[in-house]
Amino acid sequence: MRKLRVAILISGRGSNMQALIGAAQAAGYPAEIVLVISNRPDAAGLALAEKAGVPTRIVDHKAYPSREEFDAALEEALVAARPDVVAFAGFMRILTTPFIERLRGKAVNIHPSLLPLYKGLKPQQQALDAGATESGCTVHWVTPGVDEGPIIAQARVPVLPGDTADTLAARILTEEHKLYPRAIAMIARGEASFPD
């Protein structure tokens, strides 16, 4: 069976990217990672991808005078890799609506909360501030509203007494590393698709 071609967008550490690369190294996994793109030249994840033998590209947002021009360069880099799916993995740039519309049904994101709760920045701190007793992570289709697209899969973790944003983030991250490969496999097997 043909494997799903996945391009990954990162901005930093790249631990979710690494989890996807690791999953795709298993023979029976239904997806392959064809490209990693970072909008930051100093993203630590770039070296991890290179070490794993995955092609990398840098599309530095600071090199483009406008969001439209950055998006055009990103789109050109993506198209060349012919991905079936574009996986945002700690990708911290807001893209223009027309570009996101062109990615409709093709782009997915992971967010460290149980969406629709705690969208946007610092979701772990948001959970603590709200007095939540559980939180988690969500893989969802990307649509123009930030962290708003249809949900593909979620995993839950408890919020424990004494948690800080860092301890909660670490507990959630462990689940992210399992959830993202599972969600991509669901898409590859046709078990998840963008709703009509």
Question: Is 176 near ligand GAR (CB under 6 A)?
Answer: yes
**Can 111 be counted among the known catalytic residues?**
yes
Q: How far is CA 53 from the centre of its chain?
A: 20
Question: Is 13 near ligand GAR (CB under 6 A)?
Answer: yes
Q: At what angle do helices 165-188 and 15-24 cross, to 10 degrees?
A: 30
Closest CA to 38 of 4, 72, 89: 89
Complex with ligand GAR: residue 40 or 78, whichever CB lies closer: 40
Question: Is 15 near ligand GAR (CB under 6 A)?
Answer: yes
Complex with ligand GAR: residue 71 or 147, whichever CB lies closer: 147
Question: Is 14 near ligand GAR (CB under 6 A)?
Answer: yes
Question: Is 140 near ligand GAR (CB under 6 A)?
Answer: no
Supply angle C-alpha 91, 97, 93, rounded to 5: 20
Contact present, 156 and 135 (Cβ < 8 Å)? yes
- State phi, psi for 183 to the nearest 5 degrees: -65, -40
Question: Is 181 near ligand GAR (CB under 6 A)?
Answer: no
Among 89, 132, 139, 155, binds ligand GAR (CB under 6 A): 89
Cα(first)–Cα(last) distance of the chain, in Å?
25
Question: Is 136 near ligand GAR (CB under 6 A)?
Answer: no
Binding site for ligand GAR (CB under 6 A): 10, 12-16, 89-90, 110-112, 147, 173, 176
Catalytic residues: 111
